[in-house]
Structure formats: structure tokens, C-alpha cells
Chains A and B, each alone.
Chain A
Amino acid sequence: DVKVTQSSRYLVKRTGEKVFLECVQDMDHENMFWYRQDPGLGLRLIYFSYDVKMKEKGDIPEGYSVSREKKERFSLILESASTNQTSMYLCASSLGSPRGSPLHFGNGTRLTVT
């Protein structure tokens, strides 16, 4: 079974702090994704990565950056946390091929910025 592990289930940070959300997958998947989930808005793609050191902006990348130094690890960075980044963050991974391979999700990190 694919396992996607997010390092924290709950996180509370102060406005202006630099925040790191970590995600590790154990199935040698090429693709990794960061989404945020907000009520009424569904899941929105922040960034994704299709290879080590390769990344692409999603639909809402402003205020975020990412790092993928190793294939199994994909980090989401909030350079200067703001209250509007309070949300549930979901990491996911998938095989590069065949096209249509499902995303496997971690359990999420609920981030509160005060």
C-alpha cells in the first residue's frame, strides 16, 4: 500500500513566521502535489513536482514555495505566514505513468496562523 506521510497533523504558527510542511511518500512516485482545502472551495492546487528539483506552479502559488531535493520528499514553505493561509493542507503523490494513475493522499496538516 502506498503511504504518504505528512509530518504534522496540527500546527499553530504566528503571523510572519516561516513555516515548513513536510511530506514523504514511500512508493517511488514521480509526481507529488500540495493542495489546500477550504470549506466551499474544495481542493486547490498550490504547487506540484514531476521530478527531483523540478516544480510547477498550481492555481494558487502566491505566498508559497516548494522544495524537492529527494524523490520521496516534497516540502511546502510559507515564507511569511499570514492569517489567510490558515487551512487544511494535503500532500499527494502519483506515478508518472500510466496517465490516469490516481493520487494517493496524506492525512493532512491543519495549519492555524494567529
Chain B
Amino acid sequence: AQKITQTQPGMFVQEKEAVTLDCTYDTSDPSYGLFWYKQPSSGEMIFLIYQGSYDQQNATEGRYSLNFQKARKSANLVISASQLGDSAMYFCAMRLISNFGNEKLTFGTGTRLTIIP
């Protein structure tokens, strides 16, 4: 079965510390993609970072990096030097191809991150 798993329902981290949010996935498709989204209390979904299954390098976007370990099927999000504004819900998602050849995203259950001053 193709699925994506986030095992940390909630995390508390001291401001300025680095944070790692866990994400594991399961698919037999050799071509897939992994996304991370942030959802602050306002409810909007903000795209953070993307990693393709064939990408050689781990993706980075500013303070965000994706620790992609293909053999372990994990795609953890690392936030360096956390800030109070990082407090939000974080979702990992996997791009899959449906039985009819169309692209869709499947999301994990999310991790609520709280940054403590």
C-alpha cells in the first residue's frame, strides 16, 4: 500500500534550536516526490520544500532542508535555528500516480510544532 506516516503528533522545541520532523513513506513506484507544507493557525497551507526520488542532492530552501534517506524511505524536514513564527502544523506529502496515470498528493497526519521562547 502507498502511504505516508508522521509519527510525532506534537513537538515542543526551544527557540533557536534545530528541529527535525519525521516522515516515512511506502511506495513501490520508483518515481515519486515528497513535499512538506506548513499550516499556521490562520489555516493557510504554505509549500516549503520538494524532493524528487531521483534527485541526487538533498533539497534545501533557506532554513529548511530535507534529509532524504531513500533506502530507509524517510524524508525528514530539518528546520535550523527555529523561530517563534515556526510554530505551526507541518504536513509531509507524497506525489503518487493514480491507476489512471494522473498525479495526486497523499498527506500524512501532521506534526504540531510549538516553539518555546
Residue positions of A touching B, CB distance < 8 A: 31, 33, 35, 40-45, 48, 50, 56, 58-59, 88, 90, 92, 94, 96, 99-100, 102-105, 107-108
The answer, yes or no, to whether B12 is at the interface (CB within 8 Å) is: no
Apart from A42-B91, A43-B93, A50-B103, what are 7 other A-B pairs with CB-CB below 8 Å?
A31-B103, A40-B9, A41-B109, A42-B108, A56-B104, A59-B106, A104-B47
Chain A's closest residue to B105 (CB) is: A103
**B105 near A33 (CB under 8 angstroms)?**
yes
Number of interface residues of B (CB under 8 A): 25
Known: A40-B109, A42-B107. A56 touches B44 (CB 8 A): no
Residues of the B chain whose Cβ atoms lie less than 8 Å from the Cβ of A59: 106
Residues of the A chain whose Cβ atoms lie less than 8 Å from the Cβ of B91: 42-43
Chain A's closest residue to B4 (CB) is: A42
29 contacts across the A-B interface (CB closer than 8 A): A31-B103, A33-B105, A40-B109, A42-B6, A42-B91, A42-B107, A42-B108, A42-B109, A42-B110, A43-B93, A43-B107, A44-B107, A45-B104, A45-B105, A45-B106, A48-B104, A50-B102, A50-B103, A56-B98, A58-B104, A90-B45, A94-B103, A99-B33, A99-B103, A102-B47, A103-B105, A105-B44, A107-B43, A108-B43
Count of CB-CB pairs between chains A and B under 8 Å: 58
Shortest CB–CB separation between residue B55 and chain A, in angstroms?
9
- Contact string, B88-105, partner A, CB cutoff 8 A, digits 1/0? 000101010010101111
Chain B's closest residue to A100 (CB) is: B33
**B104 near A33 (CB under 8 angstroms)?**
yes
